[in-house]
Structure 1
Amino acid sequence: MKVALLTLGTRGDVQPYAVLGRALKDRGHDVTLSTASNFESFVKSYGLGFRPVQADFQALVASPEGREMMKNPFRARKYFKQLVHPMIYDCLTTFYGLAKESDCVLYHVKALGDYYAEKFPEKMMRANVVPAVQPTAEFPNPVFSGLSVPAFFNRFTYTMADAGLRMMHKPIMQFREANSMGRKISKDLAISSLYGISTNFLAKPKDYPPNSYFTGFWFDESPTPLSADLLQFLQAGEPPLLITFGSMPFDVSFDIQKAVLNLSKRFGLRILIVKGWGFENTDQIETHDAIRVITSAPFGELLPLVKAAIHHGGIGTTAECLRAGIPFLPCPVIYPIGDQHFWSQLSYRKGYAVHPVPLKKLTETLLTESVKELLYDEQLYSHAQDMKGTLRSEHGLQAAIQIIENHFAGNKVIQKTLAK
């Protein structure tokens, strides 16, 4: 069958779809992933078809306007008309065009597939790694979990996401009218939801409908191996401490390069920094023998070779740490809005992580104390290794493929593909 994968955002929003897409391709399906044009080489490295949209969020979040929006999303309205509205309209137009051509459409909630799903609900399925759309009484919306809302308001927090959607109302309505859909949006479609989440990490809510599935994490091997010089560094001594803060720009109240040097000296640590989109300045530490700075690396291959990690708390990096059996210190970059706090707190409660510290609240003293606990708390390592063993028995990717194929088996095109 012809499968369309639609997603928007940072690498953490794209990689799960690339992993899922390659698994579908290996099953004989024709897969096209549509996302921002700056991910073209990454998507193609997975052997997938690519349909670009003009929505470079890397450039947006790095801009002064983007930085202000990230600091306070509720003050972002003034930039939406100028910067975001044209992106939204282009994305919807491209996504809708690809969806019409396809037999099966798997879409991230950020790809706004719900705004044209009424045209062909039989071939639409939500696919996410963050349960931020379907209300539940069991936990707050992960995106707003940093707001300390009382438990009896958990369901209400899922309506708070409507504020962001209201800011995109104009381009959404323009798109719908241009494609003869009218202004009234169908909200009673029984669209199934697929989540790449392990129930051993987060239990599926009991009040979710039957057509919502937690499959387990979507893991596979990266098509890009570790570079020779990185392998040489990793093998030249004790496993290093990994530091990475993901795809978002960030600010701290202290000299982070100096702090890294002090950590290395105080604890006799080798340190590996993955810059991602966030680490801007590393000139003071790039020449230090015990410290290596790289732009990116496949975490599935890298994390089993490090001792522990300091990271932003995103679910993708968190899942890879659990898979590798290493403990971590989560420092959410986006706080209190954003799902990083949710996964960080969950990891801490389960014993896989040091108590999380939002990056904006981090001091060098607090960093040093947290790293000391991270390095020497033996229970953290024991719990992390136990979870590694548990995840080995899961087959989240295979479960997702089976659900997808079974769900769309009524389609004659899909029946023909599966019969091969």
Structure 2
Amino acid sequence: MRIALSALGTRGDVQPMLALGLALRDRGHHVRMCAPPDFEDLVIDVGLPFFPVGQDVHQMITETCRDVVRKPLAPLRVMDEIIRFQFDDMRKACEGAEILVGGGVQAAGASIAEWLGIPYLYAGYCPVVLRSRQHPAPLVPKQDLPGWANQLSWWASERFFNVVMKRALNRERARLDLAPIRNVYENVFRSGTMLLATDPILSPPPNDAREGVLPTGYWFYEDPAELEPLDAELSAFIADGPAPVYVGFGSMPAEDPERLTRQVVDAILASGQRALLHRGWAGLGDGQLPDAIRVIGSVSHAKLFPRMAAVVHHGGA
């Protein structure tokens, strides 16, 4: 079967989809990976065909975070561009596919599958994407709300999605001669079966989730980079004293990297720890740092984390 996979977002959205793609390829299917240009090397390194979709995510997120204070409507403009690019690129990338699986902020996937007349599935990496009385909608900071408040948050969230995305989605659907949609959440996340790639014990689906959810467990693959030992200099730093603390925010940018670095460094020094700062998209680690703190780039978490005293992580892949 010819299967198109499209995960749009940061590495936490793309990497699990790569694991799915490799598993499908090993079972004899013809798989293509559609992802932002940032992840071309990541996809090619694991041996899947790569089709670029949309803009450079790192640049887009950084610019949006920088502009949002001066230009409060910047996210609306960016979302309009994201949807336009997604439709244009996905039409080409999915040509000849027999099934399409979307993930992350893949807004065009369900519409492209409808236009092609093929099945569509959405891959969710956490149960919070499912409407439920048991938890609030995504982006709500307070988690211990009563059921009625959770329902209210979902009501508000769906209307927010409609305000931000519906006009652009319906504009692009009209170009494909597709009928307009009324509810963005239903179209983007609940068109067809949802593959819920979470641990059934640590993060089971809520018991009031409606039908059409298939729990699968997490999706992992053996990254060739994880077979390599840690850099000798990094390994020597870790061994040269008590186990350090890892601090990293992955693909999350920082509005003020210098200020965030100072806050992290002050906290580390106050606790008397050694530490590794992952530079990441937040740009941690510029400037003079104490000898007990080392800045690192991309490194295998599987190799690094077992040697840490503690891990402060943003929760991505």
Residue 266 of structure 1 deviates from its aligned partner by: 4.9
Q: Secondary structure at the match of 1:297?
A: coil
Q: Counterpart amino acid of 1:66?
A: C
Does the residue aligned with 1:101 lie in a helix, a strand or coil? coil
- Alpha-carbon distance between aligned partners in 2 of 1:271 and 1:76, rounded to the nearest angstrom: 36
Aligned to 1:196: 197
Amino acid corresponding to residue 224 of structure 1 in structure 2:
A
- What residue number does 2:306 align with? 304
**Where do 1:376-391 residues align within 5 Å?**
none
CA pair 171-251 structure 1, distance change in 2 beyond 3 A? closer
- The equivalent residue for 1:61 is 61
Alignment of 1:4-403 (within 5 A): 4-63=4-63, 65-69=64-68, 76-81=72-77, 83-108=78-103, 110-112=105-107, 113-119=109-115, 123-146=119-142, 149-159=145-155, 160-184=157-181, 191-225=192-226, 226-251=230-255, 255-263=259-267, 265-285=269-289, 288-312=290-314, 314=315, 316=316
Secondary structure of the 1:230 match is helix
Instruction: Indicate conservation of the 8 Å contact 1:53/1:94, yes or no.
Output: yes
> Judging changes above 3 Å, is the alpha-carbon distance between structure 1 residues 117 and 137 closer, same or farther for their aligned structure 2 residues?
farther
SS in 1 for 2:139: helix
Quickly say closer, same or farther: Cα 1:152–1:229, change in 2 above 3 A: same
CA contact (8 A) 1:3 1:32 kept: yes
Tell me how far 1:277 sits from its aligned partner.
0.2
Can you list the C-alpha shifts for 1:173-205, whole angstroms capped at 9, x where unaligned? 232122221335696986111112112222321
Partner in structure 2 of residue 340 of structure 1: none
What root-mean-square deviation, in Å, do the aligned CA atoms of Structure 1 and Structure 2 show? 3.1
Secondary structure of the residue aligned to 2:140 is helix
Asked whether the 8 Å contact 2:37–2:54 carries over to 1, the reply is yes
Q: Which amino acid aligns with 2:130?
A: Q
Kept in 2: contact 1:19–1:46 (CA 8 A): no
1:138 Cα deviation from its structure 2 partner:
1.6
- How many Å apart are 1:26 and its aligned residue? 2.6
Letter in 1 for 2:216: T
Q: Using the alignment, how far apart are the partners of 1:228 and 1:20 within structure 2?
A: 32
* Identity, % of aligned positions: 28
Give 1:161 deviation, angstroms. Answer: 3.6
User: Which piece of structure 1 moves more, 241-250 or 218-227?
Assistant: 218-227
2:136–2:143 contact (8 Å) kept in structure 1: no
AA partner of residue 222 (structure 2): E
Q: Distance in 2 between matches of 1:156 and 1:138?
A: 12
Matched to 1:26, the amino acid is D
* In 1, Cα distance between equivalents of 2:140 and 2:270: 37
For structure 1, the residue ranges without an aligned partner over 5 or more in a row are 318-420
CA shift for structure 1 position 9:
1.4
Paired letter, 1:307 = A
- Cα distance, 1:76–1:165 mapped onto 2, change above 3 Å: farther
Separation in structure 2 between the aligned mates of residue 139 and residue 240 of structure 1, nearest angstrom: 35
In the alignment, the residues of structure 1 paired with residue 25 and residue 225 of structure 2 have an alpha-carbon distance, to the nearest angstrom, of 18
Kindly state the Cα deviation for residue 124 of structure 1 after the two structures are TM-superposed. 1.1
Q: What is the CA-CA distance between 1:88 and the residue it aligns to?
A: 1.5
Alpha carbons 1:132, 1:158 under 8 Å: kept: no
More helix by share: 1
Q: Which residue of 2 aligns with 1:374?
A: none
Contact 2:101 2:122 in 1 (8 A): yes
Q: Distance in 1 between matches of 2:299 and 2:158?
A: 32
CA distance in 1, matches of 2:16, 2:57: 17
1:252, distance to aligned residue in structure 2 (A): 7.1
Distance 1:62 1:124 in 2: 31
Q: Which 5+ residue runs of structure 2 have no aligned equivalent? A: none
Does the 8 A contact of 2:3 with 2:97 survive in 1? Answer: yes
Distance 1:257 1:37, change over 3 A: closer
2:177 counterpart letter in structure 1? S
Match of 1:416 in 2: none
Residue 119 of structure 1: how far off its partner (Å):
3.6
The whole-number CA distance in structure 2 between the counterparts of 1:121 and 1:304 is: 47
- Contact 1:132–1:143 (8 Å) recurs in 2: no
Displacement of 1:14 after TM fit? 1.5
Asked if structure 2 preserves the Cα contact closer than 8 Å seen for 1:140 and 1:155, the reply is yes
Residues 172, 210 of structure 1: CA spacing in aligned structure 2 closer, same or farther, 3 A cutoff? closer
Q: CA deviation at 1:145?
A: 4.2
Offset of residue 267 of structure 1: 4.5
Contact 1:3–1:103 (CA under 8 A) maintained in structure 2 = yes
Distance 1:290 1:108, change over 3 A: same
Q: What per-residue deviation string (whole Å, max 9, x for no partner) do you get for residues 35-69 of structure 1?
A: 21121112222221111023222112222x43344
Structure 2 SS opposite 1:115? helix
